[in-house]
Chains A and B, each alone.
Chain A
């Protein structure tokens, strides 16, 4: 469902993503790991059609993001890293707007908004203005917007960032549940999430994939049974020279 083929992004002379290739099938949840600045967000921004790649392509359900961006985008739900929202809108107002943009209308729209609010546990703040929400609610509102059109592909950039342990658990369960029907690519810093939610994980460092496997395989590779050890072995410190994730 997601096929990433030799994806490369250069910002000036810096290479943020370096000939990255991987694929995510339906029913698979791929965890995208890596230190800050490894190129995770840049990769996701290219796959979702926000950034044009310097080389390579990503296909969503066989549709090229480069050649047919609008059609590919229709099949993607995306949660950006900082969970951006229009602060002056209410949660419901924002979700209705996002549903409009996705071309939903009438009862389909109302149902979609209602379902997204339920799925992301937003009932208590549904009519509250977004600028009064706590970080956890903001994150879940943005997550809700990515689920509205029931996309085949979900791309979530640090979906559990800023959530409390209960919310983290809920979101992981949600990802797991959604992953049975969809292809999900999500990035995280939290290694325990790999075991909790992923069916497969890759570790990216300096724009390249350094490890790829199921959580069990990763644990085996580490030698010590700890993902942290594996992570530390295969990645470079984020103080290294060519880290450009934030350049966009």
Chain B
């Protein structure tokens, strides 16, 4: 447990001693609030809710930005050779993976929670369902955890950060698009409604959707947890396979 904390501290201070964490936080706040007031039609809805104007956009933003923060996680260690130092320290691979993962999650959680003025705004304008807003935030953080886990898995494959960025962006975009209405509608026409249903439940949007709708369902939590766990297990497997 101590070693998880040590790795976590180093990673977190590395994010904040370089421009990366600040850049991510600022870009996320600008795009998420920008979309809320433009395409999100925050004022036209006339509804004190953040569901469609604000939370709806998060997977679409995070599929770009989460890989941008996560791309260095292993790629940089592999390129600089510091993985050799970590590999010869008396700590387990799991504690390194956990420490790195948690640090990235904390940066993202900060970014997401710093959009709180919009929460204050809706409370000032009307009487929103604050429980739904909390579950909306939970949904966005879980989407982020999922994308970061995917990015971590990809970064264990390559020492090239740009390759990692592109590949993990494609994978994250895939999980968003596969459940997107326009895509599933086509699937329904060419294939069958069952295929479309399957695609919806594989995609991230339906699971995120129920959370920003205010419903915390076990099946969504299981979906997020299984993708995260599979990615982290995969990361550990790839890193050991690289050395064999």
Contact = CB atoms under 8 A, between A and B. Distances in A.
Interface of A: 45, 48-52, 69-71, 73-74, 76, 78, 80, 82, 84-89, 93, 97-98, 100-103, 145, 248
Given A45-B84, A84-B81, A88-B17, A51 B243 contact: yes
Interface of B: 2-3, 6-7, 9-10, 13-14, 17-18, 80-85, 87-92, 243-244
Contacts of B6: 97, 100-101
A52 B88 CA distance: 11
A86 B90 contact: no
A51 B239 CA distance: 11
B82 A49 contact: no
A76 B82 CA distance: 17
Given A52-B243, A84-B80, A73 B14 contact: no
28 contacts: A45-B84, A49-B87, A49-B88, A50-B88, A51-B244, A69-B90, A70-B92, A73-B88, A80-B81, A80-B84, A80-B88, A84-B80, A84-B83, A85-B80, A85-B82, A86-B10, A86-B14, A86-B82, A88-B14, A88-B17, A93-B13, A97-B6, A97-B9, A98-B89, A101-B6, A101-B90, A103-B90, A145-B85
Contacts of B82: 84-86
A88 B18 contact: yes
A70 B7 CA distance: 16
B3 A101 contact: yes
Nearest to B81: A84
Given A52-B243, A80-B85, A145-B85, A101 B14 contact: no
